[in-house]
Structure 1
Amino acid sequence: MPFIGKVILITGASSGIGAAAAEYFAKKGALLALVGRNAEKFEKVLDKIKASEIDLEPLVILADVSIDAERIMSETIEKYGHLDILINNAGFSIQGTIETLQMDDYDSMMATNVRGVVELTKLAIPYLLETKGNIVNISSAAGIMPVPSNCAYSMSKAALDQFTKCVAMDLAAKGVRCNSVNPGFIETDFHGVERDTDEWAAVEELCAQKHPLQRIGYCDDCVNAIAFLADESANFITGILLRVDGGISTKGAF
């Protein structure tokens, strides 16, 4: 298996896409450094990994990527000695139009969704250069098209997309790839709506109708894309924004 013994650092790994990616790569024999802020959610992730009868116990780092990038990297290297793959997944959204947007919310989103990614990537580069590793950023279809009442979030993901392409160009000649996965509406807790409720059913139906493939996405859809880009079989691919969005970004607006 291509990920056996590979050191993979995943941020935002306590839930959603990050948690699904952690479980996937653990099953593939990777050595994981998992970053998140919620210890209780991490227990559920670790229980799933242990239930798969996997011998390798991940390194769990309780941290905030917007302020703890140096500690995250130092703990990862202290544990494993090197780094093969960085998956920048941590991020959040606070809804608001330009009229209702609070600047504190804007600053918080930019700190996590952009600055934290930039700093952690910068710290990871010396190690990725040694291993000829790669970076996968988890962005959003919102970075490609406007999404109503998501002004700051869409801006942050557009910035992340441009960062992905710039890093890809900066590091290509040195053998390090950088790509992005841009999901549409994915079934996670990210949206602030409790699942298995009438409210969730209504949101899911509405969003499914907006996607040309007539369904919402699932974590596995994104994890399969992440694994493809992180794998050496994609070694001639860098600087792409892989849209895992049911075709919604082709419409130009949500």
Structure 2
Amino acid sequence: MNFGGKVVIVTGASSGIGAKAAEFFCREGAKAVLVATNETKLKNISEKCQMAGGNHIVIKADVSNDEDAKKIIETTIKEFGRIDVLVNNAAVGRYGSILDGNFMKSYDESVHINLRAILQLTCLAAPYLVKTKGNIVNISSVASFTSPNGTVGAYGLLKAALNYFSRTAAAELGSSGVRVNTISPGPVYTDIIKNSGARFTFDQLKSTTLLNRVCEPDEIADIILYLASDKAKGITGSNYVVDNGTLLK
């Protein structure tokens, strides 16, 4: 896949899926915009992107902050003059159930990043994506389809809302030549679980899949690049599930 001349924004680019996607886009010749809040991690990923050979810039920004969201788009246009791909990957995991009294806390602590930021960035980027006939890739989760336990209720709720918004955006933007697709991974080796304070391990998550494995971030990054590429020019409004058979178990 060749992204030469394409400008790609990746949020949550400092680790995990976002970091791999940014690196892979650079490797394929894209002008990448790496967005995250952790400056140290961003610097490390920037060095990998430099080694991959792609032109890129780093923006330290909190996607849940409206002014930062505007800065992301404005800086990208000022630097590169266009936007071809928006990858909405930034997310946080917060866990709490109705009966343990933490459901609303988990919702309030994640709604701005896991949902509102994506809506905001999509609205801000859309006029530029129309000009380039670009596309959006949103990172959801299999938690949007099923809730294996009560503690992930708020997380799954917001991801389900993201799925709905992705289809709505695809329906509206399609006539303007803009594609919108979603990826719903199952368990992936990233920092989101560790940072969320979850009480389960990756070994335990393996047992929730048919294939008894957890995905690596590069597996999801490969699908991001495919959906963002011209190879997927006929795909919009789709949700790609990459879960090692989680939903079948």
The normalised TM-score by structure 2 is 0.93
The structure 2 residue matched to 1:188, chosen from 184, 187, 190, is: 190
Q: Where does residue 161 of structure 1 map in the other structure? A: 163
Quote the offset at 1:147 in angstroms.
3.4
Residues 88-128 of structure 1: per-residue CA shift (max 9 Å, x gap)? 00110111112332534422311111100000000000000
Amino acid across the alignment from 1:90: A
Q: Distance in 1 between matches of 2:202 and 2:106?
A: 26
Q: Distance in 2 between matches of 1:147 and 1:61?
A: 36
Residues 26-66 of structure 1: per-residue CA shift (max 9 Å, x gap)? 111100111100001112112222333x162x211111111
Q: Where does residue 221 of structure 1 map in the other structure? A: 219
Quote the offset at 1:21 in angstroms.
0.4
RMSD: 1.9
Q: Distance in 2 between matches of 1:107 and 1:78?
A: 34
Maintained 8 Å contact 1:183/1:245? yes
Q: Where does residue 135 of structure 2 map in the other structure? A: 134
Q: Where does residue 124 of structure 1 map in the other structure? A: 125
Q: Where does residue 65 of structure 1 map in the other structure? A: 63
Aligned residues: 244
Q: Superposition pairs for residues 42-191 of structure 1, below 5 Å?
A: 42-52=42-52, 54=53, 56=55, 58-67=56-65, 68-99=68-99, 100-101=101-102, 103-148=104-149, 149-191=151-193
Quote the offset at 1:144 in angstroms.
1.4
Quote the offset at 1:145 in angstroms.
1.2
Q: Where does residue 245 of structure 1 map in the other structure? A: 243
Q: Where does residue 196 of structure 1 map in the other structure? A: none
Structure 1 pair 168–246 and aligned structure 2 pair: CA distance change class (3 A): same
Quote the offset at 1:5 in angstroms.
1.3
Q: Percent identity?
A: 40
**SS of corresponding position for 1:50:** helix
Amino acid across the alignment from 2:163: D
Structure 1 pair 138–78 and aligned structure 2 pair: CA distance change class (3 A): same
Q: Where does residue 17 of structure 2 map in the other structure? A: 17
Maintained 8 Å contact 1:20/1:219? yes
Structure 1 pair 150–81 and aligned structure 2 pair: CA distance change class (3 A): same
The normalised TM-score by structure 1 is 0.91
The structure 2 residue matched to 1:204, chosen from 189, 202, 205, is: 202
Residues 58-87 of structure 1: per-residue CA shift (max 9 Å, x gap)? 211111111121111111111111100000
Point out 4+ residue stretches in structure 1 off by more than 6 angstroms: none
Maintained 8 Å contact 1:225/1:244? no
